[in-house]
Chain A
Amino acid sequence: MEWNKKKIDHDDLSDVVEQVEFEELEKELNQYLVKYPDEKMMDSTIDTLGQYVPSKRKKNIKYKERMQRLMKIIGTEISTVRKGYWVASVILFVMGYFITGYGAYNPVLTLAILAPVPFVFGLVEVFKGRENGVLEMEMTCKFSSYELMLFRLLIISVFNIILNSILTFAIVPYAEATSLLELVFIWFTPLTLFAAISLWLSIHFRGVVFISIFIPLWLLFSIVLINGSASWTNYLLNVNFLFHLSCMLIGLLLLVLQIKQLIRKYSTYEGGTTFEVNN
């Protein structure tokens, strides 16, 4: 609608028409409404225009420049992730360390249970543009929405791996019977599997639903792991290499499929709220 459009300058017509008359006419003319094409029709125009976009220039950017650009993007994306997420994840892992150190809990269990948590909660940050309806605004950046999501996925994955690695080194003294490599296997398997499941859930469900589905799943996994009644928990905790390798491969395969789906879904994103502007 154009009722509240900016005031039109009358000064250059002051000798032609009185200010009052000018404003009256302006008000009347504003009643001439425009019936705008819908999003679908606009998209059809955009599709037609696609063929007129020049083909991508192959830039001969130096390795150093490329790395600088990448670091700049990563820096920007890190700043968009809420501080609460970083703090909560670190606190969780510190708590895990102390529970393992001072409690009678199996350190291997702590690792396996905590391993996927930063990634899963980080997904809320990855998709927050969609949640807040600002994906269209994000699209106005130099990167498409899926590229931004992939950057954020990379950031939370690296963060998760760093936390897991620190915790692994920290609990090595408490897990005498298990080698460092075995410890890595113990957290890497649940991480890949949960990452794949949670990514699938977050693509299909919005934040609140996703979290309320994921938390019971994670609790169930933790309880079964603590009870140690299922046979697969023995395979997981006692490091059966064949079992770990198959789980990891399945997890990685599912993860790759989910990332492909994410790219497909958000490279043709049509959602978000449409907004009227004064034209």
Chain B
Amino acid sequence: MSTDEELIEEIKNGSQAAMEVLVKRHYKYIFAYVYRKLGDYHLAYDLTQDIFIKMMKSIHHYKGEGKFEHWLLKIAVNHCRDYFRSRSYKEKEEQNTLSEQIKDEKENVWDLISKKLESEKVKTAVHKLPEYQKEAIILKFYKGLKIKEIAHLTDSKEATVKSRLKQGIEKLKIALKGGDNNGVEQKENRSR
């Protein structure tokens, strides 16, 4: 089986087949990150496509230093950050608060099954976290990265990542046990 680096060389030489193999190999890895970051299936699909477009556009810059998967994940991390800063996200947030009740009625079969498996509970807890904490938690728990690797991917200091993880873990523990985050948030605000 060809390595990622070999496939990239083939893509640079114009191979559509190599591009297909490379995208299929990493699609779910990237989609899972984006989906957990956004919690929205359709949006995650669109953003994943954008991430792969960015990958294709910058494939010439990939020099084979470090794992390709991490290079691609870094594109995903930055793209998600760009999205949260975008106007479309802010507009969507406003709409979401208005239509939360309607959304509940429109939930599809998957969401119902997902709820049974407590997936929804965890999803809600993760999405209540502030963006940077959520990002660190997803990279740590779902991508299995070390603090050093997360720091590199997110252009942050290791101490910052550790702090984000610590705060995120505390909030998650409370949220998943059924409590609320107010205590932790107040403590956090005092320490800022």
Which residues of A come within 8 Å of B, CB atoms? 2, 5-9, 12-13, 16-17, 21-22, 25-26, 28-29, 31-37, 41-42, 45-46, 48-50, 52-57, 59, 137, 139-144, 276-277, 279
Contact = CB atoms under 8 A, between A and B. Distances in A.
B18 A142 contact: yes
A35 B114 contact: yes
A50 B141 contact: no
5 contacts: A32-B119, A45-B48, A53-B14, A140-B21, A279-B29
B48 A53 contact: no
Interface residues of B, number: 58
Contacts of A49: 19, 23, 52-53, 56
Nearest to B121: A31
B15 A53 contact: yes
B17 interface: yes
B56 A52 contact: yes
A48 B49 contact: yes
Interface in B81-96: none
Given A29-B126, A29-B142, A56-B14, A50 B36 contact: no
Given A37-B31, A59-B13, 20 more contacts: A5-B144, A8-B141, A25-B176, A29-B122, A31-B121, A31-B122, A34-B35, A37-B45, A42-B24, A45-B52, A46-B19, A49-B52, A53-B56, A57-B14, A137-B1, A142-B2, A142-B6, A142-B10, A276-B28, A279-B142
Nearest to B124: A32
Contact of B45 (A12, A16, A41, A59): A41
A184 to B, nearest CB: 39
A52 B21 contact: no
Contacts of B13: 54, 56-57, 59
Contacts of B31: 34, 36-37, 279
Interface stretch (B98-106, B166-174, B182-190): B166-174
Contact of B16 (A50, A140, A279): A50
A46 B23 contact: yes
Nearest to A16: B166
Contacts of A277: 28-29
Given A49-B23, A57-B13, A140-B21, A32 B36 contact: yes
A48 B52 CA distance: 10
Contacts of B33: 279
Contact of B140 (A8, A33, A45): A8
B41 A45 contact: no
A6 B165 contact: no
A141 to B, nearest CB: 7
Nearest to A26: B141
B71 interface: no
A269 to B, nearest CB: 10
Nearest to B176: A28
B150 to A, nearest CB: 10
A53 B123 contact: no
A50 to B, nearest CB: 6
B20 A46 contact: yes
B152 interface: no
